[in-house]
């Protein structure tokens, strides 16, 4: 009986410690990566505002090319949307919610599986003398307590996919394969 009581006390301390630590962890995340592309900002913007181009550069679609993709709403601009469903990449949707033509695109990302969550995606285009700096950002809230611990690893989980996507985008846009 004493051993059971000790085990329960240890479990209570561990759970309490977990919950206390989680309370002090960030309740949001921010992952951002960038690349320089030797194309004008307007060209990069025009390519990214059209969801039909995602099949060419998107790292998650590259991972599961047989995923079901459905475009809806206007072809480009605010309200343009796409949904996906796949065994590997799960399911969700992304809708453009704000644009500053040639400068930025903001989208709302909603995952429905494997777990429900939402995030904001930002594309920023900074004209340079020899091209464009393209910044791709994801931001979202982290629920207490488990997601806050997961948030500690988001850069390692998402960062390589952002790098792959930006590398793909650079290759496509600089090679002239956009037509």
Which of 126, 121, 124, 125 minimizes the C-alpha distance to 106? Answer: 121
pLDDT at position 132 over 70: yes
Q: How confident is the model at residue 19 (pLDDT cuts 50, 70, 90)?
A: confident
pLDDT at position 13 over 90: no
Q: Which fold has domain 28-175?
A: Alpha-D-Glucose-1,6-Bisphosphate; Chain A, domain 4 (3.30.530)
What are the sequence ranges of the domains in the chain?
28-175
Residue 178 has what pLDDT?
62
Query: b/e per residue, 120-154, with b = 16+ CB within 10 A?
Result: bbbbbbeeeeebbebbbbbebebeeeebbeebeeb
- Please give the share of the chain, as a percent, with pLDDT higher than 90: 75
């Amino acid at each position: 009986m004493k051993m059971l009581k000790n085990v329960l006390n240890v479990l209570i301390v561990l759970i309490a410690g977990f919950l206390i630590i989680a309370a002090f962890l960030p309740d949001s995340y921010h992952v951002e990566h960038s690349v320089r592309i030797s194309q004008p900002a307007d060209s990069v913007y025009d390519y990214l505002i059209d969801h039909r181009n995602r099949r060419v550069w998107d790292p998650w679609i590259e991972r599961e090319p047989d995923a079901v993709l459905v475009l809806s709403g206007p072809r480009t601009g605010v309200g343009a949307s796409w949904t996906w469903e796949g065994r590997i990449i799960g399911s969700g949707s992304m809708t453009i919610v704000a644009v500053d033509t040639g400068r930025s695109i903001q989208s709302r990302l909603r995952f429905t599986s494997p777990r429900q969550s939402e995030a904001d995606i930002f594309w920023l285009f900074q004209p340079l003398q020899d091209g464009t700096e393209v910044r791709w950002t994801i931001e979202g809230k982290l629920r207490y307590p488990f997601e806050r611990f997961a948030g500690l690893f988001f850069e390692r989980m998402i960062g390589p996919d952002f790098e792959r996507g930006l590398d793909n985008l650079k290759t496509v846009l600089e090679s002239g394969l956009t037509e």
